[in-house]
Structure 1
Amino acid sequence: MTIANEQITVKDVEQLLFKEADLLDSWKLEEWMQLLTDDATYAIPTTDNNEGDHRNSLYLVADDHHRLTARVKRLSDKWAHAENPRSRTRRFITNVQIKEQTGAELKITANFIVYRMRYGFTDAYVGQYQHTLVVQNGELKIKDRKSLLDLEALRPHSRVSIIL
């Protein structure tokens, strides 16, 4: 479906986020990368500093497109120690809002819960997405992807080895 800049709706944004969730839950990481722009970023700030800048604050993840591509390659390898065996995940996305639109660029937010099942344990990552989306060749693409965790600490999770 081709999208024109002036007709982007919350439903269009929801469909992108739902497709993204499905691809990530299915571990179709290469296909997921196709939803991103060639200069996309992916960031997860620490739980105590959601507003910090990755250039001068500690972040759990602060990937540019090159590092994100390497992350996907590592996670896709069947011998990736952090995800061997792979976690099963299920994502729930709610409260999708377009916060700002300037031309072909949108700032959006959405709440999420990502359940991660592995080794008989279930972890819940709860938070808010803050994305910048752009229209490229009639399609919505993710330019900046930021996952703000509402958790006070990563315990009992202790790490984030999946793409939130």
Structure 2
Amino acid sequence: MPVPARAYVKTLVLVAVALLFLLPKGGGVWFGGVFLFFLAWALYNVVRLLLKRGERRSRAIRLAIWSAALLLAGATQVHWQHASLDQANAVATALVSASKRNGAYPTSLDAAGFNSAALREEWGITYRLYEGKPQLSYPAVFMPLALMEYDFDAGQWKTNAH
């Protein structure tokens, strides 16, 4: 017996609300909790799929809807993670080049030729010179309260959890 489309309205509304939190930049911090909840829910539904013949179609469709939504959210957050790193790498490269050219690191991102307000707003990238040492960071996508900080001596990014 076919299941009417209105039977999935509740699922679609919940998916839409979840995606409101999971799709934007910074939504990766919610992803782990939602994914763990989904795994428990999916396990329950797979067991019900196997045991209850009459519920198979509707449960399989709900599982497919949630799986597609979480796959989309995860892929989006991975994209934000790579895009943030690419943007931050461009800034780090420019800062290192400026220091080699001028003998000192720029005092600000604006002095290095960047729009610091736009970088902070769009990517969360911050830079400052503290006691002559440069500090460049941006927020980690999947970890709340963690920053990715550039180690200018080693030339690589490291995680600094606060």
Greater fraction of residues in strand: 1
Greater fraction of residues in helix: 2
Relative to the length of structure 2, the TM-score reads: 0.23
Identify which of structures 1 and 2 has the higher relative contact order when contacts are C-alpha pairs closer than 8 Å and 6+ apart.
Answer: 1
Relative to the length of structure 1, the TM-score reads: 0.23
